[in-house]
Amino acid sequence: MVILRRRTIVIVSLVALLFLTGYLNYYYDQQLNNRGVVQTNGSDKADDAKPADTDKDIQPPSTSPKSNDIEVEDVPTSASSLEQQAMTSSTSAATFFIEYRLEREKVRSQEIDTLKEILTNADMDKESKAEAEQTLSELIKTNETEMAIENLLKAKGFKDALAFVHEDSTNIIVSAPSKLTPADVAKIQDVVMQRTNQPAEKIKIIERK
């Protein structure tokens, strides 16, 4: 009965973590769908220095891993955006990055606190604590990787950046002084690949206008 109760606590805690993670991903997707952004997927690093073309229609993902073309999408705007008013001023880009970074830190902090509660709970068995410790270690590693990517991108000349690292993919939102060029895309891909060992086709780059 005691073991069953412990298992129930662990399950509830993990469900709470999944809910928080799902909320962050939902919030992220809503931001992309509610504001006009340029979304770039590249299967290979681009060498040309000319600006990327922008299409008004959303294009399907490229199926050729050897293509040097840069796919650009314009995501339609929506008046229902929670952040729309904050992003309509001349400092909208800066506001977006600040607010989004604060939101991410808030959710991650809640995740870490939940895991630490499991680790410090005297009623938890060793197996449950070991699982929580592994999850906490992975979460901390993800945080460090995201921060490193963001700092490196800013050091390479991008005004601001947000990195969202997942197990098999990475999403990058970047603020650039001007429209991203193929050289800029290659630069971003290099940073992410070095830090995550993920291939270029798994890296999604969104230019924040």
How confident is the model at residue 14, as a pLDDT?
60
Q: How many domains does the chain have?
A: 1
Q: Determine, yes or no, domain membership for 80.
A: no
0.75 surpassed by pTM: no
What's 25's domain CATH number? 1.10.287.4300
Q: Determine, yes or no, domain membership for 83.
A: no
CA-angle at 42, arms to 37 and 48, nearest 5°: 95
Q: Determine, yes or no, domain membership for 31.
A: yes
How confident is the model at residue 41, as a pLDDT?
57
Q: Determine, yes or no, domain membership for 23.
A: yes
For residue 95, give its domain range: 2-75+88-208
Q: Determine, yes or no, domain membership for 48.
A: yes
- Asked if 44 and 65 touch (Cβ cutoff 8 Å), the reply is yes
Q: Determine, yes or no, domain membership for 11.
A: yes
Q: Determine, yes or no, domain membership for 15.
A: yes
Cβ-based neighbours of 90, under 8 Å, separated by 6 or more: none
Q: Determine, yes or no, domain membership for 81.
A: no
Using CA atoms, how far apart are residues 63 and 22, in angstroms rounded to an integer?
Answer: 28
How confident is the model at residue 57, as a pLDDT?
36
How confident is the model at residue 19, as a pLDDT?
58
Note down pLDDT in tens along the chain; length 209 residues: 545 455 555 555 565 555 555 555 555 555 545 544 445 555 544 444 344 443 333 333 333 333 333 333 333 333 223 333 323 333 467 688 888 888 888 888 999 999 999 999 988 888 989 999 999 999 999 999 999 999 999 999 999 999 999 999 999 989 877 789 999 999 999 999 999 999 999 999 988 87
